[in-house]
Amino acid sequence: MFKDPRRQKQLYILIQKLGLPAAAPVNWSLLDLALTHPSVSRTHNYEQLEFVGDSVVRLVSAELLLEIYPQESVGEFAAIRSILVSDRVLAQLAESYGIEPYLTIGSNATGNPAGRQSWLADAFEAVLGALYLSTHNMDLIRPWLDRVLMTKAEEVRNDPARFNYKDALQEWTQRKYKILPEYKVAENKQPKSSLSKENLAQSAHLQSDRFVAEVWLQNRCLGKGYGHSKKASEQAAAKEAFLSIQNTEA
Amino acid sequence: MFKDPRRQKQLYILIQKLGLPAAAPVNWSLLDLALTHPSVSRTHNYEQLEFVGDSVVRLVSAELLLEIYPQESVGEFAAIRSILVSDRVLAQLAESYGIEPYLTIGSNATGNPAGRQSWLADAFEAVLGALYLSTHNMDLIRPWLDRVLMTKAEEVRNDPARFNYKDALQEWTQRKYKILPEYKVAENKQPKSSLSKENLAQSAHLQSDRFVAEVWLQNRCLGKGYGHSKKASEQAAAKEAFLSIQNTEA
């Protein structure tokens, strides 16, 4: 039970929104802490639970991906997971479960909309941390989180454009070699020869080739790509690198 | 039970080396797979279990650090954990439990001693993955792993020089801002003014000031450091940055 009956009632409602019974063995103090933004207290806030929760969602994702795609390479797992555990997706999940009204946050922090995605994601991770620490297993998490992560994983697989290949590649090189890939971007002085041919796609091609990027891992060029912006060319290079690694590993 | 009685016997012995009873509810096929190097089979090897086990050791470390140092900042947690889950430490643990003789590995791979630390660490993570997936909780892991992680965490705390501040800082900026710090290193043309004073430490100082590094996060310089090598100056800059962040967060 919890000191403040109104707060206890709020937490009961939240737990039921997640799909858990009100009688679930939740550590209510931890759940309350998970919903306390650092703007409220510098010492008594969700940061430690977020640290635990970040590992929880990574482990649940790993476990789930292995269960639903047992034939996939770890490169594919890492790529999908990097999206599942991104701030963008975790903040979406926090929103879909309506966590925001239960979050205690200082007015100076709510005034900064740019930070909103970040603290929604942080609070969601902290809630996962609190639920994990309530039972020291995934019993209060997987019964509801599996379904939404599975849906999201399917979305990612069905739409390769959702992939952030730079993130996926970085995740892979860090895990495998403990180093980061480096990008070299330049203005593309020599448009591809195909551009000299007359066709309708020509101008679009021309624009999308303004920059050329290479991605290097130590002394090895892993991929090359073109794009209308520096960022787009880097993503294209990362994509080529990532897909070639996938083929080598498979 | 397991298809090959000799292999089963080996796995029993290994489990007992870890301090678990032979009757522990281990999924023996998974444990066997955790000890199969990719050089043996491109599809049937420890890689997927290593992916799960990497998250397992991160979660166990987070949980344990919160239990034993409840007053510490997450910055300190992240710094200690980055060492606990490093290849160096995980390979040490693999060695201390004598895992190597049970690893099935192709002779072409054993011929490469440089890779040894890496595959010992990978196999150790994979074993953790197999034990976690045997019960879907930490029951086969924390009873023996807690003690060694705790000892290692104490070692790290008692000897700040063990810290890899670059790793710790990187872990922090990635978690917080999803970006990496950048280092700018130059030859130190202007030795610190203190060096003009005559004292015994002078020549040592001079040597340790050969390079100067700055570490930047986007447009902000987080720290500056000197060292006898580029790497040492980067570590010094990372240390200054990391400690100032710690103070701001505390």
- Same domain as A85, residue A198: no
- Same domain as A151, residue A66: yes
- Same domain as A123, residue A10: yes
Cα–Cα distance between A187 and B227 in angstroms, integer?
36
B55 touching chain A per CB within 8 A: yes
Please list, residue by residue across B234-246, b when 16 or more beta carbons sit within 10 angstroms of its beta carbon and e when fewer do.
bbbbbbbbbbebb
Q: What is the pLDDT of residue A232?
A: 84
Contact B46, B126 (CB under 8 A): yes
Point out the catalytic residue in the list A125, A171, A234, A240: A125
Please, which pLDDT band fits residue A106 given cuts at 50, 70 and 90?
Answer: confident
- Same domain as B119, residue B21: yes
Contact A66, B52 (CB under 8 A): yes
Which residue in the block uniquely carries the two structure tokens 């993130």? Answer: A167
Interface list for A 131-150 with B (CB within 8 A): 132-133, 136-138
Q: Is A125 a catalytic residue?
A: yes
**Which residues in chain A touch residue B29, judged by CB atoms under 8 angstroms apart?**
none
Q: What SS3 state is found at B216? A: strand
Please compute, for residue B59, the number of CA atoms within 13 A of its CA located in the half-sphere on the CB side.
Answer: 32
- Same domain as A138, residue A174: no
- Same domain as A189, residue A82: no
Q: Which residues contact A50 (CB under 8 A, 6 or more apart)?
A: A34, A122, A123, A125, A126, A129, B74
Chain A CA closest to residue B82 = A178
Cα–Cα distance between B60 and B32 in angstroms, integer?
22
Q: What is the pLDDT of residue B208?
A: 61
**Which residues in chain B touch residue A138, judged by CB atoms under 8 angstroms apart?**
136-137
Cα–Cα distance between A171 and A78 in angstroms, integer?
7
CA distance A62 to chain B (A): 5
- Same domain as B40, residue B16: yes
Q: What is the pLDDT of residue A200?
A: 42
Q: What is the mean pLDDT of residues A222-227?
A: 89
Strands A220-227 and B182-187: unpaired
Cα–Cα distance between A157 and A109 in angstroms, integer?
36
DSSP codes joined into one string, B128-193: HHHHHHHHTBSTTTHHHHHHHHHHHHHHHHH-GGG--HHHHHHHHHHHHHS---EEEEEE--S--G
Q: Could B63 and A52 be called an inter-chain contact, meaning their C-beta atoms sit closer than 8 Å?
A: yes
CA distance B202 to chain A (A): 36
Q: What is the CATH number of the domain that holds A237?
A: 3.30.160.20
Cα–Cα distance between A22 and A19 in angstroms, integer?
9
How far is CA A194 from its chain centroid? 37
Q: Could A59 and B52 be called an inter-chain contact, meaning their C-beta atoms sit closer than 8 Å?
A: yes
B179 touching chain A per CB within 8 A: no
B234 touching chain A per CB within 8 A: no
Instruction: Count up the domains in chain B and report the number.
Output: 2
Final residue of a structural domain among A118, A133, A161: A161
Q: Computed over its alpha carbons, how large is the radius of gyration of chain B?
A: 22
Residue % of chain B over a pLDDT of 90 = 57
Please, which pLDDT band fits residue B247 given cuts at 50, 70 and 90?
Answer: low
Q: What is the pLDDT of residue A162?
A: 62
Structure tokens at A48: 């430690």
Q: According to DSSP H, which parts of chain B are helical?
A: 5-17, 28-34, 47-68, 74-84, 87-96, 107-110, 116-135, 142-158, 165-177, 202-208, 230-249
Amino acid at B112: N
A51 touching chain B per CB within 8 A: yes
Closest to A214 measured CA to CA, from A192, A240, A244, A248: A240
Final residue of a structural domain among B130, B162, B194: B162
Q: Is A54 a catalytic residue?
A: yes
Q: What is the mean pLDDT of residues A52-57?
A: 98
Check whether B40 has a pLDDT greater than 60: yes
Cα–Cα distance between B125 and B54 in angstroms, integer?
6
Cα–Cα distance between B214 and B234 in angstroms, integer?
7
- Same domain as A184, residue A127: no
- Average pLDDT over chain A, rounded to whole? 86
Q: What is the CATH number of the domain that holds B134?
A: 1.10.1520.10
Cα–Cα distance between A124 and A149 in angstroms, integer?
14
Please give the ipTM for the structure prediction. Answer: 0.74
Q: What is the mean pLDDT of residues B166-180?
A: 82
A66: nearest CB among B48, B66, B138: B48
CA distance B200 to chain A (A): 39
**Phi-psi label, residue A135: left if phi above 0, alpha if psi -120 to 50, beta otherwise:** alpha
Q: Give the predicted TM-score (pTM) of the model.
A: 0.74
First CA to last CA distance, chain B: 52
Final residue of a structural domain among B162, B180, B203: B162
pLDDT top residue among A247 and A71: A71
- Same domain as A189, residue A90: no
Q: What is the pLDDT of residue B182?
A: 92
- Same domain as B141, residue B52: yes
Contact B192, B186 (CB under 8 A): no
Least confident window among A21-35, A184-198, B29-43, B124-138: A184-198
Which residue in the block uniquely carries the two structure tokens 């009685």? Answer: B5
Residue A40 belongs to what domain range? 5-161
Other residues' Cβ atoms within 10 Å of the Cβ of residue B34: 30
Other residues' Cβ atoms within 10 Å of the Cβ of residue B113: 7
- Same domain as B187, residue B83: no
- Same domain as A172, residue A124: no
Amino acid at B39: S
CA distance A9 to chain B (A): 28
Cα–Cα distance between B165 and B155 in angstroms, integer?
16
What are the tens digits of pLDDT across the range B96-110? 999 999 999 987 777
Other residues' Cβ atoms within 10 Å of the Cβ of residue A26: 22
Q: What is the mean pLDDT of residues B186-190?
A: 78
Q: What SS3 state is found at B77? A: helix
Please compute, for residue A188, the number of CA atoms within 13 A of its CA located in the half-sphere on the CB side.
Answer: 25
Q: Which residues contact B133 (CB under 8 A, 6 or more apart)?
A: A63, A66, B27, B30, B49, B52
Bridge partners (DSSP) of residue B182 are: B216
Q: Could A136 and B63 be called an inter-chain contact, meaning their C-beta atoms sit closer than 8 Å?
A: yes
